[in-house]
Structure 1
């Protein structure tokens, strides 16, 4: 399913978006990995219940949302969730390291979250349909994974390694499969040049 974008410059996709997947490099996640693995199930359940991104293609994926857009078509207007205060100092260095390859002098984040794809579950193939996705770089950093996790973009399958950052073209068809016996947890965020 291809989406035709309007021809106005304001609505065209950023030419700097990854065409499929772009590896951004290794990121030091040692300061958060154990903390993420030790997050209690009750916290995941509560945060997931209150999340703004309840989309059918995400299946059984659970989220802890730190920052999100108020309007899916406007990447500039965001809200920070209360849990951000607890994690901000630990996540900001990771975010900064991941986006360093872009070299933007004036940029912002508009979505930041942990996403847990439980063992033996999947994210259905989909395209992020919102205008805001045209302008942002969607970046995944696996915090914990297993050899039976695949990320699909277009017609290719990828295995994202722990502690590496990857930009995914969310305007192409994409999804994920965790066929393993353990959960997969990613730090996912969106970043854009102002």
Structure 2
């Protein structure tokens, strides 16, 4: 969603339980769902544990499903996501994507804008799990540093990219929240197309 700025700092969050859970995943959890890596060229050097997902097909009548990461993450991720939503966004919306995403050592997510209409209506929230001083997260041509212990909303309608030149993987928990007024617009679009 275009939020008028490149990055919005949502402040400190207690992400300890989420961090501990994600750092405890074995390699199999990271490679079980490779849809994003296969479908989107910019994500070929990433791995994901996907909890909630939509591919956006049939827009605006999209299917949102619980994925294999639900059982691994829901008990620690859902309360944290709801706290962030409660503090910063109107209630009554829905989460359409949620996942832990790992950018491997030496990995690059090339400059891109999230183009699907679902990205125009949803707030994209990042909760850093790990980072290092050699991670470069560019949004709208400027570097941004995302700190563990905080949450951020990124403007995914501005060009953004990530580079990990560090010696450790960079892991972020990401979720997309569609607020109620946008859900209402989606429903109106759906009714108009019938």
Could you tell me the TM-score, scaled by structure 1's length?
Answer: 0.84
1:177 to 1:75, Cα distance in 2 relative to 1, 3 A: farther
Q: 2:109 aligns with which of 99, 117, 123?
A: 123
- Contact preservation (8 Å) 2:33, 2:68: no
Q: 1:54 aligns with which of 25, 39, 48?
A: 39
- TM-align CA RMSD: 2.0
Specify every segment of 5 or more residues in structure 2 that has no aligned partner in the other structure, as ranges.
181-194
Q: Give the distance between the partners of 1:150 and 1:93, measured in 2 at CA.
A: 29
Q: Give the distance between the partners of 2:169 and 2:72, measured in 1 at CA.
A: 23
SS of residue in 2 equivalent to 1:32: helix
Specify every segment of 5 or more residues in structure 1 that has no aligned partner in the other structure, as ranges.
1-12
Corresponding position of 1:67: 52
User: Higher helix fraction: Structure 1 or Structure 2?
Assistant: 2
Q: Deviations over 1:148-184 (max 9, x none)?
A: 1121110111110012111111111011011100001
Q: Give the distance between the partners of 2:38 and 2:10, measured in 1 at CA.
A: 25
Q: Give the distance between the partners of 2:78 and 2:144, measured in 1 at CA.
A: 26
Corresponding position of 2:130: 144
Q: Deviations over 1:103-162 (max 9, x none)?
A: 412111110011000111110000111111111101111011111112111011111001
Shift of 1:34: 2.2
- Structure 1 residues 66-75 or 141-150, which shifts more? 66-75
- Contact preservation (8 Å) 2:123, 2:176: yes
- Contact preservation (8 Å) 1:69, 1:75: no
Shift of 1:47: 2.5
User: Higher strand fraction: Structure 1 or Structure 2?
Assistant: 1
Corresponding position of 2:21: 35
Query: Superposed, which structure 2 residues align to 1:73-112 within 5 Å?
Result: 73-74=59-60, 77-112=63-98
Corresponding position of 1:163: 149
- Contact preservation (8 Å) 1:150, 1:160: no
- Structure 1 residues 32-41 or 95-104, which shifts more? 95-104
Corresponding position of 1:9: none
**How many pairs does the alignment contain?**
179
Query: Superposed, which structure 2 residues align to 1:1-20 within 5 Å?
Result: 17-20=3-6
Q: Give the distance between the partners of 1:80 and 1:43, measured in 2 at CA.
A: 15
Q: Give the distance between the partners of 1:149 and 1:57, measured in 2 at CA.
A: 16
Q: Give the distance between the partners of 1:38 and 1:75, measured in 2 at CA.
A: 36
